[in-house]
Amino acid sequence: MKTTVILLLLGLVFISATQKTTGKNNITVACYYFPNYHTGDARNDQIKGSGWSEWELVRNAGPRFDGHRQPLIPTWGYTDEKDPRVMAQKIRAASGHGVDVFIFDWYYYDNGPFLNRCLEEGFLKAGNRNRMKFALMWANHDWVDIHPYTRGTPRKILYPGKVRPETWALICDHLVKDFFTQPNYWMIDGKAYFSIYDIKKFVENFGSMDATRKAMEMLDKKTKAAGLKGVHWNIVAWGNPVLPVENPPDNYPELIRKLEFASATSYVWIHHFPLKGRDNEYEAVWKAYLKHWETITPAYGVPYFPNVTVGWDSSPRTNQDQPWDHSLGYPYTGIIVNNTPENFRKALQKTKEKLLADPAGPRVITINCWNEWTEGSCLEPEKQYGMKYLKAVKSVFK
């Protein structure tokens, strides 16, 4: 009897300890990272002048109407993310508050990479980089001159998102050699997570679905040749255009099936909720996204990784000297209001509960975003709320 009691007590202790160490029920929290906050990018220097980064728009932003929460002021200052010491600070804060993965918005055009120094010189050279996983979302959209944008002017495409097949071959080698084989690259079932932002543009690269599938197989083969199990192909599915010249497809289920994507996710809530008027309540946008999530999950037929968005306000990307009108299209859009840390925490909690309610469902969420400062959606500490958004993540997932 004593032996039985002792074993029972030891079992309870083990269960308690396990619950403490896996309190998030093994949900992976992956946060998007937008890498335009470093100096010395060759393209930015050419277009904007030496030393430019998107911090300039953050600094220059101001309130466009009464009660408008601008400018946002970074607690840590206007730091340079290509500095490994700066990135180490971000890694400490993120990993210490329940963020497991940075999904870097990754840019590569026909004439080479863009905004790559943050990842290659900052994150990958940070002394504590192994505290976090990282992955890539190929942000293969057209890059439009909107930093800032003056209302009424032509929307000039600086870098087209479509690339040639020979560029894709170079991209595949680069991905495998320099990223997928890194020890802290994010794997799902042993496969390297790789996400495509604009699937329509991706198919245009190769001209047909069959040619696109063959291009995807090329990357799979190169990844397997490097000793990995292949690529976990993720599709970013969205219906409501946000960026200028975006043109979403209307056949996501077919694309997912024929191109054999392994999972789907979202980048930001407003990809599924056209903003109505100037002010849009956070809870209303969340509920609209929840309906979208429930609708598309059976239609897609693959695991869907839900998104939780911190907020939305793209006004810093507008010319601050011009009149404000929220109805002119990106970046002159409405904003999300009452996106307090507490409301953000509630959205995280409900998302977690919905995931765990399905025993066979996925165990991944994405967050928009670590640092979309000029779109009003960032976990990174800011003057008014400090670490409260990060603390919200920790309270739900640690």
Say what the pLDDT of residue 398 is.
Answer: 87
Say what the pLDDT of residue 21 is.
Answer: 34
Say what the pLDDT of residue 373 is.
Answer: 98
Using N-to-C axis directions, what is the helix angle for 252-259 and 209-225, rounded to 10°?
A: 50
Say what the pLDDT of residue 25 is.
Answer: 74
User: Rg of the chain over CA atoms, in angstroms?
Assistant: 21
Say what the pLDDT of residue 187 is.
Answer: 98
Dihedral (Cα; 356, 136, 114, 333), 10-degree rounding: -20
Give the CATH architecture of domain 27-397.
Answer: Alpha-Beta Barrel (3.20)
pTM: 0.94
379 touches 367 (CB < 8 A)? yes
Say what the pLDDT of residue 288 is.
Answer: 96
Task: Spell out the domain ranges in the chain.
Answer: 27-397
Spatial separation of the C-alpha atoms in residues 159 and 45, rounded to whole Å:
15
* Residues paired with residue 133 on neighbouring β-strands, in sequence order: 101
The CB density around residue 332, as the number of other CB atoms within 10 Å, is: 20
Q: Is the dihedral of CA 174, 178, 183, 185 positive or negative?
A: negative
The residues of the chain scoring below 50 in pLDDT are 1-22
Say what the pLDDT of residue 256 is.
Answer: 98
343 touches 330 (CB < 8 A)? no
What is the CA 180 to chain-centroid distance, rounded?
18
Say what the pLDDT of residue 133 is.
Answer: 98
